[in-house]
Amino acid sequence: MPHSRYDAVVVGAGLSGLVAAAELADAGRSVAVLDQEPAASLGGQAWWSFGGLFLVDSPEQRRMGIADSVELAWQDWQGTAGFDREEDAWAERWARAYVDFAAGEKRSWLREQGVSFFPVVGWAERGAGAAFGHGNSVPRFHITWGTGPGVLAPFIRRVTAAQDAGRLALLHRHRVDDLIVTDGRVTGVRGAVLTPDAVPRGVPSSRDEDAPFEIAADAVVMATGGIGGNPELVRENWPERLGPAPERMLTGVPAHVDGRGIGIASAAGGRVVNADRMWHYTEGIENWSPVWPAHGIRILPGPSSLWLDPTGRRLPAPLFPGFDTLGTLAHLTRAGFDHSWFVLTQKIIEKEFALSGSEQNPDLTGKDVRMLLSRVLPGAPAPVEAFKRHGADFVVADTLDELLAGMTALSEPGVLDTARVRDEIVWRDRELDNGFGKDAQLTEVRGARAYRGDKLIRVASPHRLLDPKAGPLIAVKLHLLTRKTLGGLQTDLSGRVLDLAGAPVPGLYAAGEAAGFGGGGVHGYRSLEGTFLGGCLFTGLTIGRSLVAESR
């Protein structure tokens, strides 16, 4: 049975909440972790993730011939974030602290807990072409061996051990509705115990109530995630600078990522900043085996696919696959588009298509070396081939005419100009008559293959799309996909939530996405990728350590 009072209550059993709870419980503090979802969803969004982590000057980088440094990483972060508001003061401090963490303690701290990494470092968000501008100057995307579940494992293990020792209560189906405020201090939480529900992980659960509850605590940590599973809130906060909010979007996170926790903390006096900053993807495809409503999967593309808008016109440089997520999103949504197209070949899909998510990478998630080695054999990875066969957004054809007919069938009448698609393909292919040329994308592809990791497993050798030996031809209809909240509750460097005057709200803390991954917006306008799980780790660790130090 749960107690009525704890040293700390953590609201949300995702990664950031589990990290904070583990730190507190291991230091002997009494902790209650509350989550509205059933036990099957322990770990929250992190379980579904690919497990990518941003590290700086790591041994994995050095073994791949990558020279990185804190100075270069901070240059990239500043150029990517574009901090330009008064509200960014704390966020920028968190950003600098995080880059130092990624270059320092982060890897050794994780390794001590049994977390290891795939040896080839990925190059995400390659940028917009300027030295001081958006993007990673070098590969920094470290894939966790075990993907998202592998990142979660040590913290679930620690929390479970603390529960067995009686220092921690893990209370599923406990939905927090309000924070208790006494004389200006947050002193606990109240809400409803929801009826038991045996739905599988990620499936929307019942909101039927069994009984009310109230728990007192010296500190409350809000680790409730963002708004990516709530399309209404996404549209409500959609910024004008991105044009009109799309009418149709796929959803990249479970429905319980609903933004309620941010609103609850705001009602108790917390300041929400940068709510108009979000991170949504343009490479979403409909999940042919969905778990939650409008379930979308993101393609993690290499740089070779030809990217076209809904009319068939090529996206302008440097909007190439894997280069500038927000720039591509803005280009499409300002024009009123809600989808786009990749055109590629079997040769490209075999080497360059990965799917985001633990469940889409059973070899990495299951730590299956034999299955992993099969990736170098002919054919795309099995989950990618499954989407080719079953996915509603894929067109596979032996001839260009058949490809164009399939693309037309998936388009609104009169939108796709098939003659323009044909021209774009032919124009691009002519640029391969030489090993050099003016096509910026092909120049980037050749440059990417100068990095050993890309040449080995990530980037196909340049070839004509109409080369029969590279076929069949493939077109993929890409949808906008909701994912991350970049703004949130403003926090100081201890994780304390600040009020409208900039003073800490006594007793209230925020971690992970609810805090904009620190300070209310550590990423600014854009992410370098691998920084979302890392932000959960860093904010949870920081709050846990801060609360332990304060209570000594």
State residue 2's pLDDT score. 62
Would you say 214 and 190 are in contact if contact means Cβ atoms under 8 Å apart? Answer: yes
Rounded to 5°, the CA angle 402-406-412 comes to 140
Distances in Å between the alpha carbon of 137 and those of 335, 361, 458, 534?
29, 27, 17, 19
> Long-range contacts for 360-364 (Cβ within 8 Å, ≥24 apart)?
360/297, 361/50, 361/147, 364/51, 364/118, 364/143, 364/145, 364/146, 364/147
Query: Computed from CA positions of residues 395, 399, 402, 407, in that sequence, does the dihedral angle turn out positive or negative?
Result: positive
Rounded to 5°, the CA angle 46-47-50 comes to 75
Same domain, residue pair 437 and 501: no
Beta strands at 473-485 and 394-397: parallel, antiparallel or unpaired: antiparallel
Distances in Å between the alpha carbon of 314 and those of 185, 262, 283, 306, 393?
56, 39, 15, 7, 19
Buried residues in 343-354 as b, exposed as e (16+ CB within 10 A): bbbbbbbbbbbb
Name 478's bridge partners.
340
Same domain, residue pair 324 and 368: yes
Q: What letter would DSSP give residue 278?
A: E
The torsion of the CA quartet 94, 96, 98, 100, rounded to 10 degrees, works out to -150
Determine the longest span between alpha carbons in the chain, in angstroms. 75
Q: Looking at the domain assignment, is residue 437 inside a domain?
A: yes
Same domain, residue pair 477 and 494: no
Same domain, residue pair 294 and 413: yes
For residue 401, the number of C-alpha atoms closer than 13 Å in the C-beta half-sphere is 0
Q: Looking at the domain assignment, is residue 412 inside a domain?
A: yes
Name 474's bridge partners.
344, 396
Same domain, residue pair 491 and 354: no
Q: What letter would DSSP give residue 41?
A: G
Q: Looking at the domain assignment, is residue 79 inside a domain?
A: yes
Same domain, residue pair 203 and 338: no
State residue 1's pLDDT score. 46
Buried residues in 154-179 as b, exposed as e (16+ CB within 10 A): bbbebbeebbeeebbbbbbbbbbeeb
Domain boundary, last residue among 429, 455, 481: 481
What is the residue-wise DSSP string for 431-481? Answer: TTSSS--S-HHHHHHHHHTTSHHIIIII-PPP--TT-GGG-SEEEEEEEEE
Range of the domain at 97: 6-224+486-550
CA distance 379 to 121: 22
Q: Looking at the domain assignment, is residue 508 inside a domain?
A: yes
Q: What is the pTM of this model?
A: 0.97
Please state the domain count of the chain.
2
Domain boundary, last residue among 460, 481, 502: 481
CATH number at residue 16: 3.50.50.60
Closest of 331, 374, 358 to residue 478, by C-alpha: 331
Is residue 235 exposed (0-12), middle (13-18) or buried (19+ Cβ within 10 Å)?
A: middle
Q: Looking at the domain assignment, is residue 240 inside a domain?
A: no
Q: Looking at the domain assignment, is residue 352 inside a domain?
A: yes
CA distance 416 to 394: 16
Token couple for 299:
């393609």
Q: Looking at the domain assignment, is residue 256 inside a domain?
A: no
Same domain, residue pair 451 and 519: no
Compute the chain's Rg from CA coordinates. 23
Same domain, residue pair 461 and 525: no
Q: Looking at the domain assignment, is residue 262 inside a domain?
A: no
Same domain, residue pair 465 and 509: no
State residue 378's pLDDT score. 80
Element holding 285 (H helix, E strand): strand 278-286
Same domain, residue pair 218 and 286: no
Same domain, residue pair 384 and 500: no
Encode the chain (552 residues) as per-residue pLDDT tens digits.
467 999 999 999 999 999 999 999 999 999 999 999 999 999 999 999 999 999 999 999 999 999 999 999 999 999 999 999 999 999 999 999 999 999 999 999 999 999 999 999 999 999 988 999 999 999 999 999 999 999 999 999 999 999 999 999 999 999 999 999 999 999 999 999 999 999 999 999 999 999 999 999 999 999 999 999 999 999 999 999 999 999 999 999 999 999 999 999 999 999 999 999 999 999 999 999 999 999 999 999 999 999 999 999 999 999 999 999 999 999 999 999 999 999 999 999 999 999 999 999 999 999 999 898 888 778 889 999 999 999 999 999 999 999 999 999 999 999 999 999 999 999 999 999 999 999 999 999 999 999 999 999 999 999 999 999 999 999 999 999 999 999 999 999 999 999 999 999 999 999 999 999 999 999 999 999 999 999 999 999 999 999 999 977
Domain boundary, last residue among 444, 466, 481: 481
Would you say 194 and 205 are in contact if contact means Cβ atoms under 8 Å apart? Answer: yes
Same domain, residue pair 461 and 322: yes
